[in-house]
Structure 1
Amino acid sequence: YEVYHRAEGTVALKRTSGDQQKKWFEEFEDVCLIDFTSKRKRMTVIVSPKFGPEKGLLKIYCKGADSYVKALCRGAKVGAAEIEKLQKYNKTIFENLEEFGGESLRTLVVASATKPRSWWFGDEKTGEEGWKQKYDAAVIAKGPNAKQELSKLEGEIERDAEMDMIGATAIEDKLQDGVPEAIKSLLDASIKIWVLTGDNVATAINIGISCNLLEADMTKEGRLFVFDDFDKKHKDLTPAETDSSEYKNAVRDLLESNGAYYERERLKAEEKARSEERTEAEVRDAGQAKKMRLKEETENQVKRAFIMRKKACVLDRQFDEALSKVPALRNKYQGQPLGLAMHGNVWKVVAHYKTQRATNEVLTSSMPSLQDGKSGGGVTEEVDMSIEGKFYRLAKECKSVLGCRLEPKEKAEIVKLMQRRENVPTLAIGDGNNDTVMIKTAEIGVGIRGVEGTSAVSASDYVISQFRFLTRLLLVHGRLNNRRICLLMYYIFYKTSLVVWTVLFFGFYSAFSGQFPYLDWMYQLHNIAFTALPIIIYAIFDRDIDPHTLAANPYVYPWSRGPILYGPHKLIEWAFWAFLHAVICFFIPWYAFEVTSPEKSGQSFGFQSTMLVVYCCVVIVTNQKLAFYAAHWNWAWHLVFWGSISVLFVAILVFSTSTIFAIGGIDYYFVGYRLFAMERFWMTLVLSSGLACMVDYTRAVMEHFFPDRTRVFVEARHLGKPVFDPDHVNLDDIKNYSLKDSKTPPGLNRRYTGSNFSFTPNVREAYQKKNNGIQN
């Protein structure tokens, strides 16, 4: 088939025989297109051949996800003579679907039906109305429920067509270059990956294996928990369940609670019929028909709630069974990772009992009345939470999770679950319209620029052209910027608090008279010239590990996350240092100048000179504190660090040359020249700055003797020694390293990381003991 020509209301196809010998054209009238949506997961087209044996008939074609299209087909409506043939044919189609899914192909099912034109356009002779009139009215309808009513009508049209499945399609959606390697790197970085897709379970599992998300032997060894479509086994209630007293009582109670609503709707239907000038008998029939439809909807509502509860009970048992297998699987396969794959209908059950809770044990108490249009739940709060809790615990035990046949809203719900349960930042990445809601829900949204539109790109915080670039975005830029921004945030708070504390201390000696201790020029330049550039350069250029090393060693990523860099305790720590340093920078100069002997000329020091010494100590300590955190001392850092301190002294000399800079009663005229000529001034600067940063000096020295894993890693790189993962090697054995050891051939590869290590015999033995769970 080839689309030869398309015009408004007409489609022409060019067809070729299987042996390529015959070619002919077919032309169709384009009657109606029911478009694809992420919720419907299918699209339907209605056409009418313009010539040939089927001229004058309607052909209905539907293509979509297998479970959704199958629900629209005739099934039990087929006569006894055809049922066996149809079941055999459908079985062949689904066998082909499983085969295609096993080859990682994306599959869809096609169904068709043939109807007379009167089915759609109506019969003018009998006056019977067709679907077209109802559909056109629904399309132009306005109101809050117009879209829901249109979607409901589209489903009724498709079901009324009584289609038969005619085949399946399979397309190869190749992975982008570098996707398996990127996912492996992200897993090595201890990043939990959930794949949320619209593909079926079989296809998703095989794609997961091909991109290193799952292992090929997981299914065979039972390490992959698969929760497939519930609707295959539990799509309806059994006769015994519908005959139960609980079911009948639920229907009765809900009918009674909605009795007034039914009566109001009946009267509205009768009033509408009278306005159409119908007979009194027709008016009564219209009212009764409306009431009966509402009662039927009520019973269906109870039925759906019971089916959902039935699924919840089954799922609850399945989660219990899976959780009970986890310890045995870990022991049997020595801690090898587990996987989880679930169908979208499984998530619907979990989400149903999370968002729709009941506080009464009676099922109908949580059922909504039809007036409010809300949906209700069917279990108590305890069961509600246990279902979600067990799902969460099982997912947490697994290395990776696959969610299949998910709608956009359901993808966002899963993101919210992780945000609520884990309390960790989430990142969502996608390239299609179906991923937009998920990307907006996550704290960090990444859009891949592709061929599926620009919705995902427009909704995202970051845009990349290929998935493999995510590793550099996270493992390199993400780690480095996280470290820089955390320090930037606390350092700005620290340096501002430090100078403000000295102003407060001065207030005790000035009786809080309002006298400002510093020259306004100096105070305004504090965050502009004296302390601004070092933190800016740090936040742009500083890095403790070079980018190439970070990209090649993803296990380094979690070392600089969480409480190590940020949290309330870090804010308290920086606030403490700001107060302590302010005490040192204020009181040492104060007692060295204000409360001591005068200078050699016999003149005493005024508060202007004393507070200028205090300010010099504040600036030097502020910049010195940051210097201890800088790991990358390049030419720019040297320039701004020494330059900021130099600018301070130059500014003091400039402001000491004239009285024109005097503001607010503060005059530095000749003050700077007097101070710079005094040994006491320089000794005070050295004593204050040295004492304030004594802890930082001590910590820097101790790091040489008791290094953390990041420092060990960096030094190993600088010395040309092998790169290892300190989490899996005894650090005491590092002392046995020598430069010649780095030439030993690569040793054991840590499983599931892809990182190569060269070990000395002692380190190799330590690693093996650690990996086998033997205590050294």
Structure 2
Amino acid sequence: MTSERDSETTFEEDSQPNDEVVPYSDDETEDELDSRQPGAEPGPNQTSRDGEESRDPGRKDCSWQVKANDQRFYEQPGFKRTIFLCFKKSKYAGNAIKTYKYNPITFLPLNLFEQFKRAANFYFLVLLILQSIPQITTLSWYTTLVPLLLVLGITAVKDLVDDIARHRMDNEVNNRTCEVIKDGRFKNTKWKDIKVGDIIRLKKNAFIPADILLLSSSEPNSLCYVETAELDGETNLKFKMALEATHRYLQEESALADFDGLVECEEPNNRLDKFTGTLSWRNSSYSLDADKILLRGCKIRNTDFCHGMVIFAGSDTKIMKNSGKTRFKRTKIDSLMNYMVYTIIVVLILLSAGLAIGHTYWEQQIGNSSWYLYDAQDFSPAYRGFLNFWGYIVVLNTMVPISLYVSVEVIRFGQSYFINWDLQMYYPEKDTAAKARTTTLNEQLGQIQYIFSDKTGTLTQNIMTFKKCCINGQRYGDCRDAAGQLQSHPQQVDFSWNVYADGKFLFYDHYLIEQIKSGKETEIQKFFFLLAICHTVMADASDGQLNYQAASPDEGALVTAARNFGYVFLSRTQNTITISEMGVERTYDVLAILDFNSDRKRMSVIVRESSGNIRLYCKGADTVIYERLHPKNPKREATEEALDVFANETLRTLCLCYRDISQDEFQVWNKKFVEASLATSHRDEALDRVYEEIEKNLILVGATAIEDKLQDGVPETISRLSKADIKIWVLTGDKKETAENIGFSCELLTEETAICYGEDTRQVKSQRISPALSSALLQTRLENQRNRPGSSPHSSLRMNEPFFQGSRDRALIITGSWLNEILLEKKKKKKKKLKLKFPRTAEEKKKQSEKRRRAEAYKEQQQKNFVDLACECRAVICCRVTPKQKAMVVELVKKYKKAITLAIGDGANDVNMIKTAHIGVGISGQEGMQAVMSSDYSFGQFRYLQRLLLVHGRWSYIRMCKFLRYFFYKNFAFTLVHIWYSFFNGFSAQTAYEDWFITLYNVLYSSLPVLLVGLLDQDVSDKLSLRFPRLYVLGQRDLLFNYKKFFLSLLHGAVTSLIIFFIPYGAYLKSVGQDGEAPADYQSFAVTAASSLIFVVNFQAIGLDTSYWTFVNAFSVFGSIALYFGITFDFHSAGIHVLFPSGFRFTGTAPNALRQPYLWLTLILSIAICLLPVVAQRFLSMTIWPSESDKIQRNRRQYLLEEQQWKRRQSAFRRGVSARRSAYAFSHQRGYADLISSGRSIRKRRAPLDAVLA
């Protein structure tokens, strides 16, 4: 017999050196093959269409097939998948999106399932079953059924209201329309009815409804401009381009209707910037990549219309793949309540068991010999004890508060409306009010420890403004008067002399404009000419206006500045650029564009001037420009000083320079440039090397300073949140320099902050382990050497030591690629595997399993080390992170720090992060609604976050904690009376109250006062809450509600129940009423104990647990007492007894008992003994041991007077650090130089000057 053996031979292919490091997704495999084939070679200054035609694509992973205009194609058996038993469903998703939880069919079962997951609800369901057994229960069935139905009903209504809101938001998106080809012509179709394979037409400013293959557009060469704010948070435009074949033949409606191309591509995945596939059409195959795909969530800009074929729809789209799953979020207090309910159930079982044992003993000693307790059923004492165990489970059921959860939901519901109604969180500019999109998380807003924030559109307005500059060593932009003093209200520069001037551009330095007009300063002319010629901006004349489309907001701001100062970029062609220089129009030959990338941090253009001279113009970050300057630059130091000044003002700086190139030097270099441009592998690296050869010996012209405007109130908000001991992490897809500058602008980083970059942590880690290792280069960042074989015992003792020594504020700045590397998420090399069948031996399998286990443990330790390191910093900035990485960072902090997290963002790239955090906040009023739809709370500006947390969150937490403490107290005080009563009734599971009092106690008699405490109470005002953020730490540390507070409430309730039972018991013992008869019957005693309880628990609510008095609070207390007496007298009347004799057995008890004077004395005595110790304790705590809020409340008048004199900060931009920070922050991707030089991005010929000025 022969046995087959598994083995595998692996052939590794070279991976691209600059492959983007991305985290693994479920859709990724190691077997991906990059089989792109080169297309036709481009000529000089041109690039190919990325090998768009390929006869033999040979793509192994292209298992997703889409055929145009043929829905029958998807009915084939191969495109179906089994979902349950024999039920099959198409593997192609519809285009409707779903964020709601329920539908009409699933609402009732799913909602009941969710509710019965709560321990108390499930417990009362079991209790209801027990009450149906006559041998056990001594209570009527309605005492449990009525409250349970009330609880389930109110919660269900609340959940239904929440879900209806989600349905409406989904319908708003799903019912948008676009044009789809049906029956040979375009028809308006709702988004939800779009299917894979449909041909759609999108017009200017329309959102893209699905992931589509761009077929053609109104632009030359079927170029399409899209805005990707919903994907990466950037509002700058991106370029997409159709295949030459589809551009040429698919412009008309009839041709599009006849199009029958077949796309074979990768399965749906979450990689936003990757796409691999082929289009088969007319016996030819064409290679497809990400540049030909328009993603859902993007917006068509500056393109009249475009046509596309739907590839992925609905949940299969890349934006939805990055959105994560809808999670059922529960608060920390919810979990704590569940554990406390479990604790109460355990206590209940123990008490019932003890009382049952007592009953067994009583039966043996007394019950059997008591002739008046004759029972025809001759049960043994043990069996009677067993029945009494279940009887006490029923009698003491009110220890588990049935109305607890519904009361909590009512309070949360009311608190949510307070958030919605808060006018101080209303953003009038966009008519956007704050919105609590869920009603289950309010008190968790008062316990936030970490905030994870997006940058673009969340912290900033994404508006770049040219503020200042330095030219030839002279700074411009400061608004000074004749005496050299800064002006508080400077006058704007008048640009009316310039017919091309942008009216929105503001500048205040009149001296610079005078220098420009004089024409004497050649360096100034050179400076603005450089801004006008060195860029990749596109110009378009429409409606008599000259408009710019920039690949980054920075470029747009710089070109607009040059435009206003007289150097106007008018148009460009494939090889030329036209500029108006102070009214004189000149055209220059563009010989080469040296493209920007994040490593180079600069871009250059080489132009031939009219004189025939060749000159290179360059702009970039100061750190890279200064390394390439000619040794003889007289204004080098003066410009460097200006850069320091600009950096101190947290402006984004950029250096400008040039050099002249001889004809011979250019010809030699251009030959290398063309060769590098035609390279089929490692093209980017080859071009970078060629660029380095020419970008040297530069002459410095000056520097620019751009302001990236923050949203109003961002620095103040971050400052207050930091004082509240909340750590803020910024997670952004933008560059490190950009994010760092914003960190200083919004005061997340300050002068005193020690900034630690990701790579620097190797040194920190080595110092943490052993001084001897401090100079050693660790093989991996943050490597866990403490647990490595051979590590010293000394190092293992340092496992819990902090990474940093001292108390200095620190910040950590890391990139997405570093994050993947340190967390071992780096993408592996692509492999091609040849599998042969050679099964591993048991020993080999064991070794492989052990290897995987060690790798997993190592990875987990790496993750923990990273979180420990990051959490020791006051602030963390993560740059160039993907949506999935954002969620991963949040998940790691949740996992290893057990901290309450909040994520806030405005774009679809933030959705996964928002869903992962305990609290998700969406900024509405920005582009798109994906973040808002997936959030728990939304509003119009970041600054409202401080009020949401420090006011509404803190109040909600305090109110909920007070409510819970009081609720448990009043239930223990109510229930434990039955236990004391058991010692006098032979432990027979008899109740100490009337059945209807037990039924209505939690529903009517004691519910309203405590509900109002949970809704309205506040220890200090909203202004003082904002002024003293340190008050917020109470929630972070769980100081107001925890197991200690719970057991104190239990103890307090037990003492109250003792007083309520034994004071009336002593009063009735051997007493005689006014009529000379003994009133000491059970029914009178029950009424007296119940009346004492009602007075005590209600006075406790208003007098001791309420910090903020209103008329409503007082009315609720006295109204509840009046309601108790009114209902009691009615239920004890003879009339209702006649109608329902078996349900109302206390006929005449209340009128008879309450007319006895000493009964009222008993009530007063019980109330006084219960409340006076609490009053004394409260008085002493406020005077001798006051809390922080007590101190503030006591001095509130003084603070109000100070509040009137307190002035807000005058500017959102504070002084930054004394050291200059590199700020070359262009956010466009590499490749736009290729588009321009190839001629494919040129929109139209420039309109005549007369048309522009008309």
TM-score by length of 1: 0.59
Deviations 1:494-513 (A, max 9, x none): 32333222234434434455
* 1:690-729: CA deviation from partner (whole Å, max 9, x where unpaired): 2223331111221342122211111111356887xxxxxx
1:4 Cα shift?
Answer: 11
Determine the structure 2 residue equivalent to 1:210.
745
Code of the residue aligned with 2:1169 in structure 1: it is: L
Change (3 A) 1:587 1:377: same
Q: 1:709 aligns with which of 1188, 1210, 1221?
A: 1188
Q: 2:1139 aligned with 1:669, yes or no?
A: no
Q: Which residue of structure 2 lines up, in the alignment, with residue 588 of structure 1?
A: 1063
Structure 1 distance, partners of 2:925, 2:653, is: 19
Give the Cα separation in 2 of the matches to 1:5 and 1:528. 55
Matches within 5 A, 1:412-427: 412-427=887-902
Aligned with residue 177 of structure 1, among 699, 712, 729: 712
> Which residue does the alignment assign to 1:641?
1117
Cα deviation for residue 579 of structure 1 reads 2.1
Taking the aligned partners of 2:681 and 2:1144, their CA distance within structure 1 comes to: 86
Q: Which moved more, 1:346-355 or 1:521-530?
A: 346-355
Q: Deviations over 1:297-337 (max 9, x none)?
A: xxxxxxxxxxx9933367979x99xx99943xx4xxxx552
Give 1:29 shift.
Answer: 5.8
Match of 1:692 in 2: 1170
Q: Distance between the aligned counterparts of 1:355 and 1:500, measured in 2?
A: 61
**1:478 has 2:478 as partner:** no
Counterpart of 1:311 in structure 2 is 780
Whole-angstrom distance in 1 between the partners of 2:1147 and 2:626: 89
TM-fit CA distance, 1:30: 4.4
Q: Deviations over 1:634-682 (max 9, x none)?
A: 1111111122122222333333442524665753333223323222211
- Counterpart position of 1:501: 976
Partner Cα distance (2:711, 2:879) in 1: 20
Please say if 1:343 is aligned against 2:815: yes
Distance 1:575 1:158, change over 3 A: farther
Query: Matches of 1:522 and 1:354 in 2, distance apart?
Result: 66
Distance 2:808 2:685 in 1: 49
Q: Which runs of 5+ in 2 are unaligned?
A: 1-202, 207-213, 222-239, 248-264, 276-288, 294-572, 576-592, 603-615, 628-642, 655-672, 693-704, 763-776, 787-794, 829-839, 1215-1254
2:1130–2:1136: 8 Å Cα contact kept in structure 1?
A: no
Measure how far apart 1:385 and its partner are.
6.1
How far the C-alpha of 1:402 sits from its partner, in A, is: 1.0
Q: Quick one: distance in 2 between partners of 1:554 and 1:433?
A: 31
Q: Alignment partner of 1:697: what SS?
A: helix
2:301 aligned residue = none
Q: Could you say if the C-alpha distance between residues 46 and 408 of structure 1 is closer, same or farther in structure 2, counting changes exceeding 3 Å? A: closer
Q: Determine the structure 2 residue equivalent to 1:225.
A: 756
Give the C-alpha shift of residue 217 in structure 1: 5.7
User: Are the counterparts in 2 of residues 494 and 575 from structure 1 also a CA contact under 8 Å?
Assistant: yes
**What is the Cα-based RMSD across aligned positions, in Å?**
5.5
The answer to whether the 8 Å contact 1:230/1:311 transfers is: no
Deviations 1:557-606 (A, max 9, x none): 2245433211222222222222221122112212321x322313232221
2:1105 pairs with 1:629: yes
The separation in 1 between residues aligned to 2:707 and 2:269, in whole angstroms, is 20
For 1:592 and 1:62, the matched residues in 2 are separated by 99
Q: Comparing both chains, which one has the higher relative contact order based on Cα–Cα distances under 8 Å and sequence gaps of 6 or more?
A: 2
Q: Is the 8 A contact 1:63 1:69 kept in 2?
A: no
Aligned-partner Cα distance in 2 for 1:94–1:164: 21
Contact 1:415 1:438 in 2 (8 A): yes
* Partner residue in 2 for 1:66: 598
For the pair 1:187 / 2:722, whether they are aligned, the reply is yes
- For the structure 1 residues 184 and 161, does the alpha-carbon distance in structure 2 shift closer, same or farther, using more than 3 Å as the test? closer
Could you tell me how far 1:631 is from its partner in structure 2?
0.2
Q: Is the 8 A contact 2:811 2:875 kept in 1?
A: yes
Structure 1 residue 547 corresponds to structure 2 residue 1019: no
The CA distance in 2 between the partners of 1:171 and 1:549, in whole Å, is 37
Deviations 1:449-473 (A, max 9, x none): 1434222212211111111110110
Q: Distance in 2 between matches of 1:394 and 1:563?
A: 24
Distance 1:456 1:466 in 2: 14
- Counterpart mapping for 1:253-332 below 5 A: 310-312=779-781, 326-327=804-805, 330=806
- AA of the residue aligned to 2:712: D
Match 1:601 to one of 1051, 1072, 1075: 1075
Normalized per residue, which structure has more strand?
2
Q: Paired residue for 1:73?
A: none
Distance 2:1029 2:1048 in 1: 29
The question of whether the paired residues in 2 share the 8 Å contact of 1:428 and 1:439 is answered with yes
Show the counterpart of 1:199.
734
Deviation sequence 1:40-68 (CA, Å, 0-9, x none): 49995379xxxx999xxxxxx99997369
Moved more, 3-12 or 190-199: 3-12
Shift of 1:350: 3.2
Q: Distance in 2 between matches of 1:388 and 1:476?
A: 34
Query: Aligned to 1:401, what secondary structure does the other structure show?
Result: strand
Distance (Å, rounded) in 2 between the aligned partners of 1:691 and 1:453: 62
Distance 1:433 1:316 in 2: 39
Shift in alpha-carbon separation, 1:420–1:675, aligned structure 2, 3 A: same
Q: Which amino acid aligns with 2:884?
A: K
Aligned to 1:9: 216
Give 1:490 deviation, angstroms: 3.4
1:360 alignment partner in structure 2 = none
Partner of 1:612: 1087
Judge conservation of contact 1:10–1:30 (CA < 8 Å) in 2.
no
- In structure 2, distance between residues paired with 1:210 and 1:588: 67
Using the TM superposition, give the Cα deviation of residue 616 of structure 1 relative to its aligned residue in structure 2, in angstroms. 0.9
Q: Decide whether aligned partners of structure 1 residues 660 and 8 sit closer, same or farther in structure 2, where only a CA change above 3 A counts.
A: same
Aligned equivalents of 2:270, 2:623: Cα separation in 1: 23
Q: Which residue of 1 aligns with 2:123?
A: none
State the one-letter code of the partner of 1:558. V
Partner of 1:431: 906
1:45 to 2:291 alignment: yes
Amino acid at match of 1:310: Q
SS at the partner of 1:213? coil
Work out whether 1:683 is the aligned partner of 2:1161. Answer: yes
Contact 2:914/2:935, CA 8 A, preserved across alignment: yes
Equivalent pair of 1:195/1:401 in contact (CA under 8 Å): yes
Deviations 1:205-245 (A, max 9, x none): 11100011001464xxxx111125999xxxxxxxxxxxxxx
For 1:667, the aligned partner's letter is R
Verify the 8 A CA contact 1:41 1:68 in the aligned structure 2. no
Residue 481 (structure 1) shift: 0.3
- The residue type paired with residue 188 of structure 1 is K
Q: Secondary structure at the match of 1:194?
A: strand
Shift of 1:162: 8.4
CA distance in 2, matches of 1:345, 1:376: 25
Q: How many angstroms does 1:195 deviate by?
A: 1.0
Q: TM-score, normalised by structure 2?
A: 0.38
- Give 3-state SS (helix, strand or coil) of 1:566's partner: coil
Aligned residue pair count: 548
Q: Is contact 2:274-2:290 (8 Å) kept?
A: no
Corresponding residue number in structure 2 for 1:361? none
- 1:377–1:313: structure 2 CA closer, same or farther, 3 Å change rule? farther
How far 1:105 sits from its partner (Å)? 8.7
Aligned-partner Cα distance in 1 for 2:1191–2:943: 29
Partner of 2:389: none
Any idea what the Cα deviations from partners look like across 1:608-640, whole Å, max 9, x if unmatched? 000110111111222123231110111111111
Q: Which amino acid aligns with 1:541?
A: L
Selected match of 1:352 from 818, 821, 824:
824
Identity of aligned pairs, percent?
27
Q: Tell me by how many angstroms 1:437 deviates.
A: 1.4
